Structures are given as structure tokens and as C-alpha cells.
């Protein structure tokens, strides 16, 4: 199978939105990872590939169990592959998964309180933003915490804060994931400043 032809739309989405995620300041350095469902396979960014520099050679194809089907020899899947794959198993509607490290969302994730949604747009589109407890990046413990949080929420819940670790967004399109990530970061920024101005 020439998967680069079969999944050209997913490849194009991952590359273009990786750059937007970086340009918007939702990640820095080589942080963050995104993936796409490709039938019974998953396309995911490689480990230590900066999102600003993702190319087709920086993506790898895995099966639903995480076995690498095709990738350049020097690449390993993102260390967060376990929770990406798990999300696709428990959320049939999810076609894309985005994990990033925006500053204000990360700050609020450590406040030990639910994110208040002050704007009408946030109330309408984010609805509710659960907090996933902290876990070592790439660990089975973190993957379990992510999947527990996702499995205990409704299909309408697509945005999560990860304690001391950024955001997790699920969506039917990569565009929707990006919009939710932007809105979540703006909502967290408003919440942080509101708390500073009115302690």
C-alpha cells in the first residue's frame, strides 16, 4: 500500500496545522504531538520532530496496537503514542488528536481548580474542560490517566487540560482541533488575568 497517496489529506493536514500550532505559540522547541486516524491505522508525528518542521518524512504510520508499519529508520513514534492510540479506540468520532503545551493553559492546569469559561464562545464551544492529573510524559501511568478522563466524558467534551503538561484536543477535523486549542488557550489567558486582577 502506498500510504502516502492513500492518506494524502491526513498528511497535508498534519503538516500544515503543525506549523500553525507552532506559529500560534501553542508549542515551543520539539514539544507537542499530533496524529490522525487513517482507517485502522494511525499517522503520528515522530519523536523529537519540532512541529514547525514536520514533513512527510517526520510522520510515521502505526497500526492500532502501535506497531510501526512504515517510518524512516531514524524515527520513533511520539512517546505519547499510547494515549493517542487509546483515544482512537474509545472515541470513534475522533479523527485527529492534538497535544500541545500553551503557556496560559499550562499555568491554569496547576491551579487545582476547574477552568472558568467567561466568554460566550467558550461556554458554547468548550462546554466543559476536565483536568487530567499529572503523569510522567510517555508513561503508562499518564496514558491510563488520559484514557480514564476521556472515557468518563461525553462525546461533546473535546478539550482537556493536562496538569503541568498542556492541553489535549480531540476532533473530527484537524481544523476543529486547532480552533479548540486556540479557544482553550485564550480562555485560560482570560482566567489567569481575571485571577490576578481579582484575587
Ordered structural domains, the chain, with CATH: 3-197 (3.40.225.10)
Torsion of CA 2, 46, 92, 5, to 10 degrees: -20
Q: Give CA–CA dist 171/188, Å, rounded.
A: 20
- Whether the per-residue pLDDT at 118 is higher than 70: the answer is yes
Q: Compute the mean pLDDT over every residue in the chain, rounded to the nearest whole number.
A: 95
Q: What is the pLDDT of residues 60-91, one digit of tens each?
A: 999 999 999 988 888 888 999 999 999 999 99
Can you spell out the DSSP letters for 27-64?
--TT--EEEEEETTEEEEEBTT--GGG--GGGEEEEET
Closest CA to 158 of 144, 173, 145: 173
In three-state secondary structure terms, 81 is helix
Query: What is residue 2's predicted lDDT score, i.e. its pLDDT?
Result: 80
CA angle at 84 for the pair 117 and 171, rounded to the nearest 5°: 45
DSSP 93: T
**How confident is the model over 87-97, as a mean pLDDT?**
97
Query: What is residue 1's predicted lDDT score, i.e. its pLDDT?
Result: 56
Chain-centroid distance of CA 119 in Å reads 23
**How confident is the model over 182-190, as a mean pLDDT?**
98
Query: What is residue 82's predicted lDDT score, i.e. its pLDDT?
Result: 96
Amino acid at each position: 500500500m502506498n500510504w502516502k497517496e492513500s492518506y494524502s489529506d491526513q498528511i497535508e493536514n498534519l503538516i500544515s496545522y503543525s506549523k500553525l500550532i507552532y506559529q500560534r505559540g501553542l508549542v515551543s522547541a520539539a514539544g507537542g504531538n499530533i496524529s490522525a486516524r487513517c482507517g485502522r491505522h494511525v499517522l503520528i508525528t515522530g519523536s523529537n520532530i519540532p512541529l514547525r518542521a514536520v514533513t512527510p518524512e517526520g510522520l510515521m504510520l502505526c497500526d492500532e496496537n502501535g506497531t510501526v508499519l512504515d517510518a524512516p529508520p531514524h524515527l520513533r513514534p511520539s512517546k505519547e503514542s499510547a494515549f493517542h492510540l487509546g483515544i482512537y479506540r474509545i472515541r470513534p468520532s475522533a479523527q485527529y488528536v492534538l497535544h500541545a503545551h500553551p503557556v496560559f493553559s499550562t499555568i491554569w492546569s496547576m491551579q487545582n481548580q476547574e477552568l472558568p469559561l467567561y466568554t460566550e464562545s467558550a461556554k458554547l464551544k468548550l462546554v466543559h474542560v476536565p483536568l487530567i492529573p499529572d503523569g510522567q510524559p510517555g508513561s503508562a501511568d499518564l496514558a491510563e490517566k488520559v484514557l480514564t478522563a476521556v472515557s468518563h466524558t461525553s462525546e461533546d467534551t473535546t478539550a482537556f487540560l493536562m496538569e503541568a503538561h498542556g492541553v489535549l484536543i480531540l476532533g473530527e477535523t484537524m481544523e476543529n482541533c486547532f480552533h479548540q486549542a486556540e479557544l482553550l488557550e485564550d480562555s485560560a489567558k482570560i482566567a489567569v488575568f481575571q485571577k490576578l486582577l481579582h484575587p
